[in-house]
Structure 1
Amino acid sequence: MEDIQMMTDDAAGQLGSYRRTIDNLDSALLYILAERFRCTEQVGHLKAKQELPAIDNERERRQLDRLMSIANDVGLSGHFVEGLMTMIVGAVVERHREIAAKK
C-alpha cells in the first residue's frame, strides 16, 4: 500500500497543504532569482562601460558576512548559505565577464 493511502485523511490534507506552500515558495524563489539576475545584468553593463573588474572581492566578503549573520538569525545553515551564494555570485561574475568581453 502506498504511504499516502496509509495516512489518515487529516494527515493527507496537511501534507497536501504543506506541499502547496512549498510549491508556491519554490516559484517565488525563482521569480526573486530572475529579478536579481536582471539587476546584476545591469551592473555588468555598467562595470563593462566603466572598465571595472567583474568581481569586487571586498563587496562579496561584506555581503557574505551580512548574509551569514541573517542565516544565523533565521536558523539556516551557514554552510548552505555560503554554498548558495558562491553559486549565485559565480554565475553573476561569469556573466559580467561575458558582457565585458563583448564591449
Structure 2
Amino acid sequence: MDDDVQTELEQIRASIDNIDAALVHVLAERFKYTQRVGRLKAEHDLPPADPDRESRQIARLRSLADDADLDPAFAEKFLNFIIDEVIRHHEAIRG
C-alpha cells in the first residue's frame, strides 16, 4: 500500500475511533437520564414502557436521520435497541 494512502487511512480511522468514543460517552450520559426517569416511574407506580412516547421518538429520530442522510430504518433499529435496554433498566429499578 502506498504510504500516502496508509497515512490517510490511519487519519480517517483515528477520526472514526474518536467518534466511537464520543458515542459511548453520549450514550452513558443518556442512560444517566433514563435511570432518573426509571426511578421516578418506580416511585409513582408508572409502567416501565411508554409506547406513545416511544412512537413519537422513533418518528422524530427517523426524520432527523433523513435530514442527516442516514438511513431512517437504521436509525429506528438503533433507537429500538436503546429503548429495549432502557425498559429493561426500568423494570430492574421497579424490581
Does the TM-score normalized on the shorter chain lie above 0.5?
A: yes
Aligned residues: 95
Residue equivalent to 1:33: 27
Aligned Cα root-mean-square deviation (Å): 0.7
Once the two structures are superposed, the pairs formed by residues 1-103 of structure 1 within 5 Å of their partners are 7-101=1-95
Percent sequence identity over aligned pairs: 43
Alpha-carbon distance, 1:79 to partner:
1.6
Distance between the aligned counterparts of 1:27 and 1:97, measured in 2?
Answer: 28
Aligned residue type for 1:64 = I
Gaps of 5+ in 1: 1-6
The 1-side partners of 2:33 and 2:47 are apart by: 17
- 1:78 CA displacement: 1.4
Deviation at 1:82, TM superposition (A): 1.0
After TM superposition, the runs of 4+ consecutive aligned structure 1 residues lying more than 3 A away are none
Deviations 1:66-86 (A, max 9, x none): 100000011111121111111
Q: Say which SS state the counterpart of residue 61 (structure 1) adopts.
A: helix
Give 5+ residue unaligned stretches, structure 2.
none
TM-score, length-normalised on structure 1?
0.89
